[in-house]
Amino acid sequence: MAIKLFEKLSNNFLEFLNDDEDFNVIISVGESPNAKNFRAHSAVLRHRSLYFRNELANINRDKNNIKTVNLKHITIQQFEIISSNYIILYIYGGIISLENVDTSVIFNLMVITCEFLFEELTKRLETYLIEAKASWLRLHFSEVFQKSFQNNKFQELQNWCNDIIVKHPEKFFESEDFTSIQENA
């Protein structure tokens, strides 16, 4: 018989976030000179994310034995919203709470978790949006449609969008963004 005590394990890993001594990765977000740095641990990042594993494999350590991952394409605001409440908690503790979270934040979180190759979390967020936030998806249909076809990993969302188009083609063809929709969509 196996006894699984994941909650305590998860909490212990979350305590790493407050460890000022043993971090060995800096995640630099935004453009210099306004970039903001976040501390992390390579062992945790490598094992939880293929994206970070690949990034860390190609970065040399500095004189203090620290690797810096540059995420210039993500704004500080996006990362703070995502990291402080969601991504970092997910990486370290496997925890994500969507209570009292704006649906646009959840949608952007899904897009970024896909970029960071968190397949399990991306799928869960995609399913959650379709099952619990379909009204928001309909209200922001053009954006949802375009984002879902920018990455082939959002199959459920693509199917959901295609179903909407079949049932309500005017929503698609009368959209202000219709002429800017990419060809593959």
- Which pLDDT does position 182 carry in this prediction? 58
Decide if 87 is inside a domain: no
pLDDT exceeds cutoff 90 at 150: no
Decide if 6 is inside a domain: no
- Which pLDDT does position 12 carry in this prediction? 80
Backbone angles phi, psi at 157, to 5 degrees: -70, -40
pLDDT exceeds cutoff 70 at 177: no
More confident of the two residues 148 and 181: 148
pLDDT exceeds cutoff 60 at 42: yes
Strands of 36-40's sheet, edge to edge?
36-40, 25-29, 67-71
Distance CA 149, CA 182 (A): 8
DSSP secondary structure letter of residue 133: -
Decide if 92 is inside a domain: no
Backbone angles phi, psi at 37, to 5 degrees: -105, 140
pLDDT in tens, 73-94: 877 777 766 665 577 778 888 8
Decide if 91 is inside a domain: no
Q: What is the mean pLDDT of the chain?
A: 83
Decide if 153 is inside a domain: yes
Last residue of a domain, one of 77, 110, 131: 77
Distance CA 58, CA 52 (A): 10
Decide if 185 is inside a domain: yes
Q: Domain tally for the chain?
A: 2
- The DSSP line for 3-55 is ---HHHHHHHHHHGGG-SSS--EEEEESSTTS-EEEEE-HHHHHHH-HHHHHH
Among 22-31, 61-70, 126-135, which is the least confidently predicted range? 22-31
Distance CA 121, CA 26 (A): 23
Domain membership of residue 28 as a residue range: 13-77
Decide if 39 is inside a domain: yes
Decide if 47 is inside a domain: yes
Q: Rounded to whole angstroms, what are the CA distances from 29 to 36, 150, 165?
A: 5, 23, 37
Distance CA 38, CA 76 (A): 10
